[in-house]
Chains A and B, each alone.
Chain A
Amino acid sequence: MSRATNLVDQLKALEAEALEEVARQEGPEGLESIRISYLGRKDGRISGILRGLGGLDPSERPRVGAEANRVKGALQEALEQREGELSLGAQGAGEQVDLTLPAREQWVGGRHPVTRVVDELVEIFRGLGFTRARGPEAESEWYNFVALNTPLDHPAADEQDTLYLKGGYLLRSHTSPVQVRVMETFRPPIRVLAPGMVYRRDSYDATHTPAFAQLEGLVVDEGITFVDLKATLAEFARRYFGRGARVRFRPSFFPFTEPSAEVDVKRVVRHPDGSTEESDWLEIMGAGMVDPAVLESAGIDSQRYTGFAFGMGPGRIGMLKYGIPDLRLYLDNDVRFLRQFGGR
């Protein structure tokens, strides 16, 4: 047996011994002492063996050197792997980590679905230059009716089944009073949204609740026309209901706008198989050119300025958008319902 072969065998035996020792270690200290004892540059046992290289035939040296490097590498790797295993801590020696276990979570809440719809609508109109204005829910007859060109003895004042308060005030039956309040406070150009709660003396059933959200829009400036109204709402519909959405205006009557319109939208429904289909016409809002009488009662010159206004029900839009069958779900506030719109 050559001297070189003997050295290679010694290295192999050393490797086996070292790997076994590594596997036995339960802490980083033991691994470090193994590293020193085998791989130490001065006193390490591999270095000790390599000192015997000097007495070898130079042609045999590379073979022993290569084997020594291989053993060093293997030991280094074993040490690192064991180190990694031990650093996982509590898992215990040699135990596998089951990474399929569920995550450690935090509670996350969510905005009410009606608020979500309002926020989405506001976001779209913000992109069209609108800001948000606010008004009280307990209103006067003046702001809720008279200033909106609705005489109190006209049947139109009855149609909304207003809830009255003792003492001559009422709960606003629409967000339109905010129109008047904004026009009294600010000068044109005006481009505002007025989201808020409105009240009606309605039954409490799947399609009616006595209080619900409404979103009003108002634009007043020189040169605002019916075409601007139609274009703005058509653009809104495309942004909210998706490309291909179309709007249809139908003549209607509101005391505070003239001409007035009911606005329907038809959207493109995409099926999972990629095919598309147009929905039915969905009635989503009322709109119209601000009646000159409304401008005048807010102190705005109706010859110089024109405007348009629109109003929609985010709760009903939410029913369409999320497929909610019953308005009362909004008010039950069952957390299993609220969670369906985000959160956990």
Chain B
Amino acid sequence: MNVSLRWIRDLAPDVTGDTEALSRTLAARGFPVEGIEELAAGLRDVVVGQVLSVGPHPNADRLSLCRVDAGDGEPLTVVCGAPVIHAGGFYPFAPVGATLPGDFRIRKARIRGESSFGMLCSERELGLGSDGSGILHLEGEFTPGAPLVDALGLDDVRLDVEVTSNRPDLLSHRGIARELSPAGQAGLRLPTFPGLDPATPTELPVVSDPREATAGGVTVRIEDAERCPAYLGLVIRGVQVGPSPLWLQERLRAAGSRPINNVVDATNYVLLELGHPLHAFDLDRIAEQTIVVRRAREGEGIRTLDDVDRTLTADDLVIADATRPVAVAGVMGGSESEVDENTRDVLLECALFSPGPIRSTRKRLGLSTDASYRFERGVDPEGLREAVLRAAHLMVATAGGELAEAVAEVRAEPFQRSRVSLRVQRVERVLGIPFTPERIRELLEPLGFRLTGPDDGSFTVDVPGFRSWDVTREIDLIEEIARTHGYDEFPEELGAYRPGTVPDHPLFLLEDRLRDELVARGLFEAHTLAFAGEANGEVALENPISTEEGFLRRTLLPALLRRVEYNLARGNRDVRLFELASVFRKGPEGAPPEEATHLALVLHGRRRPPHWSLEDEVLDPWDLRALVEAVGRTMGGPSEAGIRLTPVPHDDAPPAPWLTPGLGWTLSVVSGEVVGWAGAVRGEGLDLPRWAGTVWAAELRLPAEPEAPHTATFVALPAHPGVDRDLALLLHQTHPVGGVLERIHAMGGALLQDVDVFDIYEGEGIPEGHRSVAIRLRYQDPERTLKDAEVDGEVERVADLLRREFDAGIRGRGD
């Protein structure tokens, strides 16, 4: 909301203090000032000049020579190009040395041989309007040399006040003045307009009816009282449409509104002053002088004031005459009934529309106006008569004309103020400090509330119309008490509290543990956006930010791989990232999308930081496997299940689009459920520099309600030494080592504690298609020292098993 400070001071003469202080007050009341603009900043050097005489320029037909009194005593000679200048008239004068808006500096000049000491200015040169055709003639009597800003009251400041959507009453200067005035409501007044004939009636009779009313020759009928609870029409006949006087134009400009003509400006003035949207129709263009407030017919058209043809639906409310819509109710007028310079008679509309339907029409038409903005939030249902009369007064003051003898008002029900009960005790229970009944009264009454009581500890509060939209409950009044008392006045003493009943969500705990584990293992956490193309998502957005990313992702890896590309393109060779985030899948019809938390990780580059003592090694499958197994251990609940990695055979189709078969695993949990994949990322989908190596990745779904982490159980340390035995197995390539180890674990007997692979060899001395796998078996009994002979027996059992099940050659053994 653009606020003119002069306007505020006109409405509330008790508002004092400089701009800064007033801005602070507004902010402390909840309405921060986003911007402050000194409106006359560029006109400081301009004074009022009186043209003493006008004579012809000796060398140019279209120029004249003026003698100007600029208050310096000695008249100045000024060359002027304007067609009409009156001797004796007052004009804005920029003396030599002055700077005009746009950094235009006035110098002494010789024009066609004649010296000119300054410049008489047009509206446009002063930035006061668009008229550059002639010098701005100042109406009235002035002192030559007086600063123009003082003479014209241009010395105004515009505040850009942020008004929250619950306070439509503050979308007006009167509302803001009420907040700023020390006396509040009681400090407000409405100044009379200059030029208004004192004989103009200050009140008009109202012809009021629930459905149809006629006054001033115009009939008003409401056909949808739910959407239009009230409609007032007032006729003004015989206006002379033209530019508004300068003071009015300045007012509107100060408040950020563009002057149009004296009729339209009157409606905009009242909108800005009282917050009531009004509309002026050219009465001659209203068929049968009849206004009907009705639903649009499906497909009915109207050309609005912005010269756009719009098609309406049966859900839109229109103001129609006897034959066609003349305005989209509460949003914008139609161009066919627009007031222009030929308009003689005006119908002034001041109505009340329900916020919801205005909002849906506004959204459907994509047409937000000052009027719709206010109707959507709610205008004062009590202020219609005042607003229509005020606009009419301004109109006759500036455009002339006669008010009709009465206002036509259609209103289904008179407005009833709501009464809200306010318990004095409750104020303290919510706010934490006591408020006396006197203090409550002192805080609420300046805002326009009327308090009765307290009786039995409760006030009855009468809510004025302009607050009827946001104050409907006791808590709304308690807020007003806190706000006007001042938030700064509340203490900050921390009291006792009871601990809550809500446990930490277990998924947060799992995420914490995973982050710790992965960070310790060298990975950086990444954040990426959840939007994806159709290839990686199935839940569609209704209003996506970009059409290429119109879905919610069902997998994290694509975005993470883009981050690998981004880093490699910037020469960051060692990239190890992980992300914990939500992914989305379609749910059953009518149900919300299914949402799961995934963990994804990507790796590229060296196994460890380069060091002069080491050869660089790049990350390989065993590094990835270690990470995935660590994740599995971190996730494991009491079952110690972890994650099972099952190699994806080389000849299989990729089970995930990114995975390279033969270089990856399917990840599953103890139930056998597949939760993700890990492995080398297929090169096709990646855009990497030529020097890039293999990108390793994994993605898996986390449980929605993870189990508590595994609790360690103490096992007595063995008191007796263990025995290691090594076996060198000759295994055919078709037997993966993992299966062999699993069988040894399963069948190795109670004394077998551990099996390690400590060497793998193929090549010279090993038969074609075989490899030599050296394993170390560790035997131990916590109760006693093992005898060589029994260990030999145990090892032999394992060797037998391997010969039998895996056709393994046992190449030798040692101890």
What residues make up the interface of A, taking CB atoms closer than 8 Å to B?
101-112, 114-115, 119, 128-134, 136-140, 153-156, 159, 163-169, 171, 182, 186-192, 195, 197, 199, 201-202, 204, 209-211, 219, 221, 223, 225-228, 230-232, 234-235, 247-253, 255, 258-261, 289, 291-292, 306, 330-336, 338-339, 343-344
List the B side residues contacting A231 at CB < 8 Å.
491-495
Q: How far is the CA of A291 from the CA of B657 in the complex (A)?
A: 49
Residues in B neighbouring A255, C-beta threshold 8 A: 166
**Contacts A164-B543, A259-B482, A333-B566 hold; do A343 and B500 have CB atoms under 8 A apart?**
no
Q: Would you call B165 and A155 a contact (CB within 8 A)?
A: yes
Partner of B540, one of A112, A166, A187, A306: A166
Q: A108 touching B519 by the CB < 8 A rule? A: yes
A223 to B503, CA, bound (A): 22
Could you tell me which residues of chain B, from 532 to 561, have a CB within 8 Å of some CB in chain A? 539-545, 552
* Interface hits, B501-535 → A, CB 8 Å: 501-505, 507-508, 512, 515, 518-531
Name the contact of A230 in the complex, choosing from B30, B492, B515, B572 (C-beta under 8 A).
Answer: B492
Given A163-B543, A211-B529, A334-B567, the answer on whether A339 and B524 have CB atoms closer than 8 Å is yes
- When the two chains form their complex, are residues A186 and B502 in contact, meaning their CB atoms are under 8 A apart? yes
Is there contact, CB below 8 Å, between A259 and B478?
Answer: yes
Q: Are A109 and B522 closer than 8 Å at their CB atoms?
A: yes
Assess whether B432 is in contact with A225, with CB atoms less than 8 Å apart: yes
Task: Name the contact of A106 in the complex, choosing from B27, B476, B522, B593 (C-beta under 8 A).
Answer: B522
List 24 A-B residue pairs with CB atoms under 8 Å apart, sorted by A's residue number.
A104-B613, A105-B611, A106-B608, A107-B522, A110-B525, A111-B519, A112-B524, A112-B527, A131-B500, A138-B595, A165-B539, A165-B540, A190-B501, A192-B502, A201-B543, A227-B491, A234-B492, A253-B166, A255-B166, A258-B478, A258-B479, A259-B431, A332-B566, A343-B519
B482 to chain A: closest residue by CB = A259
- Shortest CB–CB separation between residue B31 and chain A, in angstroms? 8
User: In angstroms, how far is the closest chain B Cβ from the Cβ of A23?
Assistant: 28
Taking the closest CB of chain A, its distance from the CB of B240, in whole angstroms, is: 39
Chain A residues closer than 8 Å to B102, beta-carbon distance: none
Q: Known: A225-B430, A226-B430, A226-B482. Is A110-B519 also a contact (CB below 8 A)?
A: yes
Contact A250 B505 (CB under 8 A): no
Contact of B504 among A131, A155, A199 (CB under 8 A): A131
- Do B475 and A140 touch (CB < 8 A)? no
Residues of chain B lying within 8 A (CB to CB) of residue A131: 500, 502-504
Q: Which of B27, B377, B493, B613 contacts A155 (CB 8 A)?
A: B377
B28 within 8 A of A: yes
CB of B570 within 8 Å of the partner chain: yes
The yes or no answer to B793 lying at the interface (CB within 8 A) is: no
14 further interface pairs, Cβ-Cβ under 8 Å (given A190-B501, A343-B524): A111-B515, A111-B525, A112-B524, A112-B525, A130-B500, A155-B165, A191-B502, A221-B497, A230-B491, A253-B164, A259-B431, A289-B475, A335-B577, A336-B572
Q: Which residues of B contact A108 (CB under 8 A)?
A: 519-520, 522
Contact A331/B501 with A108-B519, A225-B432 known, Cβ cut-off 8 Å: no
- A116 CB, nearest partner CB in chain B, Å: 9
With contact pairs A166-B542, A331-B528, A333-B566 given, residues A137 and B430 touching in the complex (Cβ less than 8 Å): no
Q: Measured between C-beta atoms, what is the minimum distance from B441 to chain A in Å?
A: 19
Complexed CA–CA distance, A292 and B612 (Å): 67
What is the CB-to-nearest-CB distance from B282 to chain A, in angstroms, rounded to a whole number?
32
Contact B501 A187 (CB under 8 A): yes
Question: Please, which residues of chain A bring their CB within 8 A of the CB of B525?
Answer: 109-112, 115, 338
List chain B residues, Cβ under 8 A from A338: 524-526
CA–CA, A335 to B563, complex, Å? 9
A166 and B498 contact, CB distance less than 8 A: no
Asked whether B491 lies within 8 Å of A226 as measured between CB atoms, the reply is no
Q: Which of A109, A139, A250 contacts B519 (CB 8 A)?
A: A109
Interface: B247 (CB within 8 A):
no
Contacts across chains A and B counted by CB atoms under 8 Å: 271
Does A292 contact B522, Cβ atoms closer than 8 Å?
A: no
Tell me the complex Cα distance, A160–B526, Å: 26
Closest to B168 in A: A155
Q: State in angstroms the CA–CA spacing of A104 and B616 once bound together.
A: 12
Q: Does B390 contact A (CB under 8 A)?
A: no
Closest to A336 in B: B572
The interface residues of chain A lying within 8 Å CB-to-CB of B494 are 228, 231-232, 235
Interface size of B in residues (CB-CB distance below 8 Å): 94
Mask of B467-498 contacts with A, CB within 8 angstroms, 1/0 = 00000010110110011000110111111011
The reply on B638 being an interface residue by CB < 8 A is no
Contacts of B192 in A (CB 8 A): none
The residue from A221, A250, A251 contacting B498, defined by CB atoms under 8 A apart: A221
CB distance from A231 to the nearest CB of B (A): 4
Q: Which of B339-347, B354-362, B381-389 is the contact stretch?
A: B354-362
Judging by beta carbons under 8 Å apart, are A226 and B574 in contact?
A: no
**How far is the CB of A151 from the nearest CB of chain B, in Å?**
8
Compute how far the CA of A102 lies from the CA of B610 in the bound complex, rounded to whole angstroms.
Answer: 10
Compute how far the CA of A20 lies from the CA of B476 in the bound complex, rounded to whole angstroms. Answer: 99
Q: Are B500 and A191 in contact (CB under 8 A)?
A: yes
Do residues B592 and A136 form an inter-chain contact, with CB atoms below 8 A?
A: yes
> For A219, what are the chain B residues with a Cβ–Cβ distance below 8 Å?
497, 500
Q: Does B789 contact A (CB under 8 A)?
A: no
- CB of A253 within 8 A of CB of B497, answer no
Q: When chains A and B are docked, how far (Å) is the Cα of A263 from the Cα of B515?
A: 31
Instruction: Tell me if B717 is interfacial: C-beta within 8 Å of chain A.
Output: no
Q: Which of A129, A168, A339 contacts B497 (CB 8 A)?
A: A129
Chain B residues within an 8 Å CB radius of A159: 165
- Whether A164 and B577, one on each chain, are in contact in the complex, defined by CB atoms closer than 8 angstroms, is no
Residue of A nearest to B28 (CB): A250
Report A-chain residues with C-beta under 8 Å of the C-beta of B475.
Answer: 258, 289, 291-292
Q: A289 contacts B430, CB within 8 Å?
A: yes
In the assembled complex, the CB of A112 is this many whole angstroms from the nearest CB of chain B, namely 4
- Chain A CB within 8 A of B746 CB: no
Known: A105-B608, A107-B609, A140-B592. A133 touches B505 (CB 8 A): yes
Contact in complex: B429, A225 (CB < 8 Å): yes
Closest B residue to A114 by beta carbon equals B527
Assess whether B584 is in contact with A138, with CB atoms less than 8 Å apart: yes
Kindly list chain A residues whose C-beta atoms are within 8 Å of the C-beta of B501.
186-190
Cβ of B32 < 8 Å from any Cβ of A? yes
Tell me if B44 counts as interface (CB < 8 A to partner A): no
Write the chain B residue with the least CB distance to A190: B500
**Given that A109-B522, A228-B432, A249-B487 are contacting pairs, would A210 and B30 also be in contact in the complex, using a CB cutoff of 8 Å?**
no
Give the chain B neighbours of A133 by CB distance below 8 A: 502, 505
CA separation between A199 and B530, bound complex, in Å? 9
Shortest CB-to-CB span from A237 to chain B, Å, is 10
In contact, B508 and A134 (Cβ under 8 angstroms): yes
Encode B158-186 as 1/0 by CB contact (under 8 A) with A: 00000011110000000000000000000
Docked-complex contact A153 and B519, CB < 8 angstroms: no
In the assembled complex, the CB of A154 is this many whole angstroms from the nearest CB of chain B, namely: 7
Closest residue to B543 on the A side, CB-wise?
A164
Q: Mark B318-351, 1 if CB is under 8 A from A, else 0.
A: 0000000000000000000000000000000000
Interface pair B609/A106, CB less than 8 Å apart: yes
Complex CA distance for A202 and B473, rounded to whole angstroms: 34
User: Which of chain B's residues has its CB closest to A122's CB?
Assistant: B508
Q: A211-B530, A225-B430 are in contact. Are A335 and B499 (CB under 8 A)?
A: no
Instruction: Report the Cα distance A101→B47, complex, angstroms.
Output: 79
- When the two chains form their complex, are residues B575 and A335 in contact, meaning their CB atoms are under 8 A apart? yes
Q: Within the complex, what minimum Cβ distance (angstroms) separates A82 from chain B?
A: 25
- B708 shortest CB reach to chain A, Å: 15
Q: Are A306 and B500 in contact (CB under 8 A)?
A: no
CA distance A211 to B433 in the complex (A): 39
